[in-house]
Structure 1
């Protein structure tokens, strides 16, 4: 059944596009394919409406979400990120200068917007259920066949569903990726992210502040009102200490680490923790298969890059699917998937490498590495064209024309 989308389905069904996974990447992929005119099935046990975490959507992502008709419903639920501030709180001998990136330098209202994951999932799910070309099949995919002309899955309740293209958005432990024989590179960090939402007495002034600690970033991201989300990256032992603290003691500790820039803090909701790891698929495509989101890449929550990278996967694939539809071509053809692979590879590698390097630079005690990091942030704070280039590439890679970087050594230049 379609549109308002019940979980009922016949024993055998055939579609144009089959999306596995109902996180933000999977929901947007289903919407994008359906709006291009493809009969699309979305297979997942359900949508997560209880996730207490938040997501910062950068400008390229909000533009994309506007194009598929959902951003106008998400905007009232979000808080703008007008400034991004980086503060070296390592206490080391060589420390980087404080750097603030301001969206006004790029003539933007904001770099992006932060909102709660449960709100994001709810709006995307409602939009997908209202789309006539989307069929929700509330089941778990357990068996996979990737053939020359179709992909077929079998669900745990015995349904068989075929399509010309399967889009895997089933996460870092993807069964679809494994069934296709696509290998991954995995690595772990000696870190745990402690995540929570906070209320505070002082205004965040639409500024995201990232304190760089020796254990990793301590990042406060604005929510609506006098509220912020926090990602505190710690050692496993440090994370356990934070989680075991009584709430009043934890709140005082968080205020201390934030140097009281937001005043008195109160924890709002649960305190969660997640071990940090990384993953990149050795290919983002296979026979009749495209990988998106965390099925293709995972890295630490630094610089608001995770979901934004996944949405660029969806946007790239969606553009290719729209072109194939307009020319009546096979949406799961080897040529289309080769083009998707080529389009995504550089972006994924560059983002993963940059986030990994920044994270590891905070952990090392090697003075040359600390000096290089400090020099880079110093140049970003002092050299206007470089700072603006970093901002452009951070929010919308490849979208803005590249300026010529002539270092302004003359007095007063910025």
Structure 2
């Protein structure tokens, strides 16, 4: 037996499993609310060419955990989103252009390198009172009043509650017996960071092609490269193999062709990433002393930049649900997790099915489907109220408006036990004043 195997267990209130961006965000959100938090997991490997577009509600979340200024310094604002039907369907479809100023925002959000975002959140986590354990969790025991997590090096963590942010192959989810439904698409996504001749004007452009979206999202200047964008390009596995085998210069010419020359000459400045497109849903989001967040409970193609934004809403909603709960009280905890389950189901289901439907509508060359998709573009272009409603729902969904995404002041921190509900002191004072005014009470007026 190793020395670490016989050591005393690490005791904590909340164990966050997974050290990616979602896990780091969860650890920061709960630590800043006063919970005793332990974060366990290996730092993720670099993701070539991957960026994340963080929309308005996520921007407020980053501000609430103290990371916004650092993220903005490394990011580029997205002020306009342009969607272009490039499927060569029978009837022409107008470009759909959505501007943040239409809904009184300076920008829809910010696009930042995934690796830079993770590094910023890691730095914030080290500055907070978070115990960080850089080790994989090998197994869990969910029986009893505490969750016991056994690390790969033999150490143990005992927690009152576990937040699983350990991705698609989550050990926590599997140990809790939560079933998954997975599916794949006949697509590969290529990702890269690009330099280009002409300015992007803070416009994100999404070309809808028969193989899936070809998306260029603005990035900030870097050194001598003033004009930069990130690429997410969906295509068939055969096309992916062919393009990855090409000399870099030939692939750059093909990129310019797919962008219709709108950004001029292009240069690939990063390694090229590739990953298979698929989706996943779970049978439930909670189990006993466990809640799932992020890609532990939902996966879908990178269309409309919904992935991490949805994951941060999971975290913010869970923090709201557990705000005034004593984790040692099973009845209170069960009620809070039921609320989380019900609230997240609607949002996750809506996004998952919406992205799935749009992606399949592109890769299936069927005239009635083309006509329906084209009619949606026409309606959005022609009807301002509809367009603005869709934009608001995309950047700050009304179904999920937890405190951390409303820009409210932080709650009073807590260390143990129950936390007073927001406004509890005012309510108590009002009750005392009413009691003094009741007839027959000594000191009451006539």
The question of a shared fold, defined as TM-score above 0.5 by the shorter chain, is answered with yes
Contact persistence 1:320–1:336 (CA under 8 A): yes
Separation in structure 1 between the aligned mates of residue 39 and residue 54 of structure 2, nearest angstrom: 23
Q: Per the alignment, do residues 332 and 80 of structure 1 end up closer, same or farther by CA in structure 2, a change over 3 Å counting?
A: farther
Give the Å deviation of 1:278: 0.1
Q: What secondary structure sits across from 2:89 in the alignment?
A: coil
Alignment of 1:4-403 (within 5 A): 10-48=7-45, 51-132=48-129, 134-225=130-221, 226-324=227-325, 333-398=333-398
Contact persistence 1:165–1:332 (CA under 8 A): no
Give the Å deviation of 1:215: 0.4
Contact persistence 2:196–2:265 (CA under 8 A): yes
Give the Å deviation of 1:47: 4.3
Separation in structure 2 between the aligned mates of residue 144 and residue 8 of structure 1, nearest angstrom: 15
Q: What secondary structure sits across from 1:86 in the alignment?
A: strand
Q: What secondary structure sits across from 1:203 in the alignment?
A: coil
Q: Deviation per CA, 1:4-27, whole angstroms, max 9, x where unpaired? A: xxx999541111000000111100
Contact persistence 1:193–1:233 (CA under 8 A): yes
Q: Per the alignment, do residues 108 and 323 of structure 1 end up closer, same or farther by CA in structure 2, a change over 3 Å counting?
A: same
Aligned partner of 1:406 in structure 2 is none
Q: Per the alignment, do residues 332 and 296 of structure 1 end up closer, same or farther by CA in structure 2, a change over 3 Å counting?
A: farther
| TM-score, normalised with respect to structure 2 | 0.85
Q: Deviation per CA, 1:187-209, whole angstroms, max 9, x where unpaired? A: 11000101111000100000000
Separation in structure 2 between the aligned mates of residue 101 and residue 330 of structure 1, nearest angstrom: 47
Unaligned residue ranges in structure 1 (runs of 5+): 1-6, 402-414
Q: Per the alignment, do residues 50 and 378 of structure 1 end up closer, same or farther by CA in structure 2, a change over 3 Å counting?
A: closer
Separation in structure 1 between the aligned mates of residue 49 and residue 88 of structure 2, nearest angstrom: 32
Contact persistence 2:347–2:399 (CA under 8 A): no
Separation in structure 1 between the aligned mates of residue 47 and residue 380 of structure 2, nearest angstrom: 39
Q: What secondary structure sits across from 1:259 in the alignment?
A: coil
Q: What secondary structure sits across from 2:26 in the alignment?
A: helix
Contact persistence 2:343–2:400 (CA under 8 A): no
Q: Deviation per CA, 1:44-82, whole angstroms, max 9, x where unpaired? A: 022445654110001110011101111011111100000
Separation in structure 2 between the aligned mates of residue 65 and residue 250 of structure 1, nearest angstrom: 36
Contact persistence 1:49–1:121 (CA under 8 A): no
Q: Deviation per CA, 1:71-112, whole angstroms, max 9, x where unpaired? A: 011111100000000001111213432110000000100001
Q: Deviation per CA, 1:299-346, whole angstroms, max 9, x where unpaired? A: 000000000000000000111222326x99669821221111111010
Separation in structure 2 between the aligned mates of residue 232 and residue 378 of structure 1, nearest angstrom: 25
Unaligned residue ranges in structure 2 (runs of 5+): 222-226, 402-446
Task: Choose 1 or 2 for highest CA Rg.
Answer: 2
Q: What secondary structure sits across from 1:231 in the alignment?
A: strand
Q: Per the alignment, do residues 24 and 33 of structure 1 end up closer, same or farther by CA in structure 2, a change over 3 Å counting?
A: same
Separation in structure 2 between the aligned mates of residue 300 and residue 339 of structure 1, nearest angstrom: 27
Q: Deviation per CA, 1:275-316, whole angstroms, max 9, x where unpaired? A: 100001111111110000000100000000000000000000
Q: Per the alignment, do residues 400 and 278 of structure 1 end up closer, same or farther by CA in structure 2, a change over 3 Å counting?
A: closer
Separation in structure 2 between the aligned mates of residue 102 and residue 81 of structure 1, nearest angstrom: 9
| TM-score, normalised with respect to structure 1 | 0.91
Separation in structure 2 between the aligned mates of residue 371 and residue 362 of structure 1, nearest angstrom: 11
Q: What secondary structure sits across from 2:322 in the alignment?
A: helix
